[in-house]
Amino acid sequence: MVSDQYISSVAPSPVLYFLFVFFVCVWFLRVYLLYRETLKRNKEWIGPRTLIGDETVFSQIFRPIPGISLGYDYPWLSKHNDYPSDGCDAYFMVSAFPVGYSSLWLSDAAAIKEIASSRLRFPKPVKLYKVLLIFGPNIVASEFDSWKRYRRMVASAFSDRNHEYVWYSASKLGVDLLDNVFKNEKEVVLDDVTEITLPLALYMIAIAGFGREVTFQHDGVVPHGHKMSFKAAIDIIAKDIFLKLLLPTFAFTLHPRLRKLQLAFEEIEEYIKEMIRERQTSTQEEGRPDLLNNLLEANGDSEIKGEKPLTDEELIANVFIFLLGGHEASSQALAFALAALSIHPDEQKALYQQIKQVMPNGELPRYEDIHLLAYSLAVINETLRMYPPVNASPKYCAEDTVITVTNASGSKKLVPVPKNTKIFLHITGVHYNPRYWKDPHVFNPSRFLADYPREAFIPFSSGSRSCIGRKFFETEAVAILSLIISRYKVSIKEDPRYAHETFEEKKQRIFTANIKLTLTAANQIPLVFTRR
C-alpha cells in the first residue's frame, strides 16, 4: 500500500502549479499583444481576422469555422466579397496563430501584374510545393536559376508543332468518344459528366504528351515486365493522386487501394524511363511532335549549346508534371463548361449555331482555322473565369517594399509590405471583381468575343511563371467541346427531388465546388446528351 508520505513527495507542489499557470498566462499575453500590434500595423488594410492563420494544418484540412479558421476553400468561397467598400482591392488577413501572422491578399490586376513580373522581389514560396516532388525537382516546385533552366527546356516542348498534333489528336479522340462510347445513340445519360471528361483529359495527355496510342476501346495490354498497362496506371493515378500528395510513404502498405496506387506510380515511372531510353537510342523517333519527344530533343540540343542537360530524374519529374498538372484541371474545366451550357440554353444555342457554320459536316476545321471556333474558346474562357482551376497564387516579399493599388475612382494608394510577408494573388477575387467584369456572377461567354480586360483574366496565372500548357489546353478543349456540341444537345438530368428548385438553387447545386488538387465539383454533375 502506497503511503501518504510517498504520494505527497511525487505530487506537484502548489509553487509548480503557480509557475505553470503564470507562464501560460504570460505566453497568451504575448500572443495577444503581438496580435494587437499586427492589427495596428495594418489597420488601414485590415481584412478578415481569425484565430488560426491560412498556413496552419488546421486551416488546410477543415471547413470554415467563423472566427477560428477561414478553411481551405476560402480563396474560392470568398470571391470578391471581403475587399473593402472603398474599392481598393487589397487587404491583410490577420490571425493570432502563427504568432503575429498576416498575409496580403490582392485582386488588383495592375498590382498583380507588377508582382508576377518581379520574380526577384516576389519569389514563389517553393516549400509549399514539396508535395509535388514525387519524382524529383521540376518546373513547378522550383525557383530562381533552377526554374529558369527548367523553363527554357520545357517551354520548347510546347511548340506549334505539338499544338497542331493536339488538335488532330483531340479530333480523333472526340470522334472515338461519340462513336464508341456514346455510340451515336439518341440519348446518353451520365450520372456524373466526369465519367467522360476525366478519361478525355487523361488520354489526351497520354497521346499528345507521351505519344501513346490510347483510346476508349483500347484494352490496355500489359507488356512484358509490367504488372499493369499504361492506360490502367494513369486511370488509377488520376482517380487517387490526391492520396499520394497527402499521405506519408508508409501508409501505402496499409490498404489494397493504396498499394494499387503505389504500384501505379511505380509502373508509370518505369514506363517513362522506358520511353526515354527508347527515344534516346532510336533515330526513328526524330520528328515526333509529342511533348516527351520535344523535351528530349531540346535536352539533346542543350549539350550542343554548352548548357547543362536534364538528368534522367529531372526528365521523369518534369514529364510527370505534365500528367499531374494537366489531367485534373482540363477534366474539371470541360465538366464545368458542359454544365454551364446545360443551364444556359441560349448560350448553348449560340455556340451550336457558330459550330454548324464552321463544321457543316460535323468535322473539325484545319488547325490553321481554329480561330473560326471563337465562340467555343469564349465558352472555355468564361468557364475559366468563373471556375478557375487555381484560386490563389502564393508569393512572398523578399524585401521591405510598397505596392500600389488603385480604387474604383482611379485614386492610387500605397500598401507598405514588410519583408517575408506572404502575398496571395487572388485569382478568383480578380475574376469576380466588378471593376473589370460587368455582372461577374453571370455566365456570359460573349464578353470574350470583344475587347476584355486581359490583365484581369489570369486562370493560367500571370507573368513569367504563367502556365506554359495554356495553348495545349485551349486547343484540346476547343476541339472536344466543339465536337460534342456539334452532335449533342446537353441538359441537366431531371431529378424528382429537385422538381421545384429555382434557377439559382439549381446553379448552386451544380456548381458547388471545393479546392482539391484544383477546383473540383463537390457533387456529381448529372447530364443528359440528346442527339441533334
Q: In this structure, are residues 402 and 114 in contact, taking their beta carbons and an 8 Å threshold?
A: no
Question: Quick one: which of 139, 143, 175 has its CA closest to 158?
Answer: 139
Q: From the CB of residue 23, how many other CB atoms can be counted at a distance below 10 Å?
A: 10
What are the grid coordinates assigned to 366, written together?
A: 484545319
Burial label for 202, CB within 10 Å (0-12, 13-18, 19+), is: buried
Instruction: Tell me the three-class secondary structure of 392-459, residue by residue.
Output: EEEEECCCCEEEEEECCCCCEEEEEECCCCEEEEEHHHHHCCCCCCCCCCCCCHHHHCCCCCHHHCCC
Residues in the chain: 532
Using only the alpha carbons of the chain, give its radius of gyration: 26
Instruction: Report d(CA 347, CA 29) in Å as an integer.
Output: 58
CA distance to 110, 298, 408, per residue, from 411 (Å): 13, 48, 8
- In which element (H, E) is residue 292 found? helix 291-304
Residues paired with 489 in a beta bridge: 530
Q: From the CB of residue 421, how many other CB atoms can be counted at a distance below 10 Å?
A: 20
Instruction: Report d(CA 74, CA 28) in Å as an integer.
Output: 27
Q: Which residues make Cβ contacts (< 8 Å) with residue 98, sequence separation at least 6?
A: 53, 55, 56
Q: What phi, psi does 391 have (nearest 5°)?
A: -100, -20
Burial label for 135, CB within 10 Å (0-12, 13-18, 19+), is: buried
At residue 493, the 3 state secondary structure works out as: coil
What are the grid coordinates assigned to 358, written together?
A: 464552321
- Tell me the residue ranges of DSSP E strands in 46-197: 46-52, 90-97, 101-106, 187-190
DSSP 206: I
- Alpha carbon 234 to its chain's center: 18
Q: What phi, psi does 24 have (nearest 5°)?
A: -65, -45
End-to-end CA distance of the chain: 89
Q: Annotated binding residue at 397?
A: no
Look up residue 448 and give its amino acid: F
- The binding site for heme consists of 467
- The binding site consists of 467
